[in-house]
Amino acid sequence: MKLFYAPGVCSLSPHIAFHEAGIPVELQKVDTKTKAMEGGGDYREINPKGYVPFVQLDDGSYLGEGPAIVQYIADLKPESKLAPANGTMERYHLQEWLGFLNSEIHKGFSPLFKPTTPDEYKVTVKEQLAGRFDYISTQLKGKQWLMGDTFTVADGYLFTLLGWTRWTGIDLTKWPVLNDYSARVAARPAVQAALKAEGLLK
């Protein structure tokens, strides 16, 4: 399989999932601004949406959208326990988390990365994200991971999103629970491997 990615962006989430599941993956780096691929080629000819993550499967077909990709990876290796079994209430709760992270956190960051976003609106965006971080902090109290004692693909996604705070002027230490959680995720060998492969470790 091949993962189309850019360092540190949302494609880090499936990259972590591949390592956690022990599934080998070829990496294809993409410049998300110019849409040029490392080594040559226009990424839009492969993925008309123009953004990552995107995965080429072993049969040559493609799968896009992070929450779908990470569940696909988890289901390839159910013994990894990266996702509860399909049809269980636990799986629906995982999808609930993935939906929340995708719509409320991931998209919530988007205005902060746009140079045209007015500064006064960025203040409002950060206040909204702070409220979401408050909620996640309460849900994580007394738990090691979002789903309890088992690390899942939702944790890889949340870790990726929390990493964006250092690029957007948000001080994560205001949320000790999240700060400690992020450190726990970062210490996992699979996460370290993904970060190293993307050149994100100092």
> Looking at residue 54, which CATH number applies to its domain?
3.40.30.10
Query: Is residue 114 packed enough to be buried (19+ CB in 10 Å), middle (13-18) or exposed (0-12)?
Result: exposed
**In which domain, by residue range, is 155 found?**
89-187
Burial of residue 19 (number of CB atoms within 10 Å: 0-12, 13-18, 19+) = buried
- pLDDT at residue number 178: 98
pLDDT of residue 131: 98
Buried b (16+ CB within 10 A) or exposed e, 140-171: beeeebbbeeebbbbbbbbbbbbbbbeeeebe
Q: Count the domains in the chain.
A: 2
136 is a domain residue: yes
71 and 138 share one domain: no
Q: Is residue 202 part of a domain?
A: no
Provide, rounded to the nearest whole percent, the portion of the chain with pLDDT above 70.
100
Q: pLDDT (tens digit, 9 = 90+) per residue, 111-162?
A: 999 999 999 999 999 999 999 999 999 999 999 999 999 999 999 999 999 9
For 74, residues 6+ apart whose C-beta sits below 8 A from its C-beta are 17, 21, 80, 82, 83, 152, 153
| pLDDT computed for residue 198 by the predictor | 98
Report whether 74 contacts 85 (CB < 8 A).
no
Assess whether 170 and 97 both reside in one domain. yes
φ, ψ for residue 138, nearest 5 deg: -65, -35
Question: Would you state the pLDDT for residue 53?
Answer: 98
Quickly count: other Cβ atoms within 10 Å of residue 83's Cβ: 27
- Which residue positions in the chain have pLDDT lower than 50? none
Q: Do 94 and 167 belong together in one domain?
A: yes
Three-point CA angle 134, 136, 140, nearest 5°: 120
| Residue 71 lies inside a defined structural domain of this protein | yes
Residue 129 domain-assigned (yes or no): yes
pLDDT given for residue 164 in this prediction: 98
